[in-house]
A and B are shown apart, each in its own frame.
Chain A
Amino acid sequence: KAGVTQTPRYLIKTRGQQVTLSCSPISGHRSVSWYQQTPGQGLQFLFEYFSETQRNKGNFPGRFSGRQFSNSRSEMNVSTLELGDSALYLCASSPAGTEEKLFFGSGTQLSVL
């Protein structure tokens, strides 16, 4: 069974631009979560989606948003990029009934210049 797939793997943007990251969960998984990983702040929860609905949201500004499609694929968007948004963005999917068990993708490394 294929793992969680995130695209693109690397991304370079400039301040003020917006970016969209994509995540394809493991087949059959309906829950998708997003985390931001930085050397200074570690792993921080962004949001979780289940059946196209956001169920939980972390403490990030409104510039960070996401959505989930009917096939469970998810996207996250960051608008008006800031230098501090440079990070590894990780997507994780979870099987039904054990949503706490996260299966992570390899992430998208975003650099904001």
Chain B
Amino acid sequence: GENVEQHPSTLSVQEGDSAVIKCTYSDSASNYFPWYKQELGKGPQLIIDIRSNVGEKKDQRIAVTLNKTAKHFSLHITETQPEDSAVYFCAASIGRGSARQLTFGSGTQLTVLP
């Protein structure tokens, strides 16, 4: 089955700096790569996603890049703010629409220092 590795496990940045979290996946058939943010006491929240036919996607301060050849994808957060502090999970899945199951990375605890 699919295996997703995520690095780093913890990341501390100064407010205003950029943060980058990287994930690699094992199954070349994976075609959907979402990123989730989980705040304390809450469930994960989808913040951005990308499909395998796209190399990069941006939404305000958040961007995701995908390298299918190397089988890795990354989350980039620019101009970080204290409210960005949370655990971030990457995920990968095969298939489209129905019967899709996500395989998650182990998570990155991001701390934005004021």
What is A's interface to B at a CB cutoff of 8 Å?
4, 31, 33, 42-45, 48, 50, 55-56, 58, 90, 92, 97-107
A100 touching B100 in the complex, CB below 8 Å, given contacts A90-B43, A105-B43, A106-B41: yes
Interface on chain B toward A: helix, strand, loop, or mixed SS? loop
Of B36, B102, B103, B106, the most chain A CB neighbours within 10 A belong to B102
Instruction: Bin the interface of chain B by size.
Output: 20 to 34
Complex interface: chain B residues within 8 A of A33 (CB): 101
Interchain CB contact under 8 A, B98 and A50: yes
Bound CA span A33–B43, Å: 13
Shortest distance from the beta carbon of A25 to any chain B beta carbon, whole Å: 13
Which of B36, B43, B97 touches A107 (beta carbons < 8 Å)? B43
With CB as the reference atom, state the residue of chain B lying closest to A47: B101
Interchain CB contact under 8 A, B43 and A42: no
Chain B 95-110: CB-based contact to A (< 8 A → 1; otherwise 0)? 0111111111111000
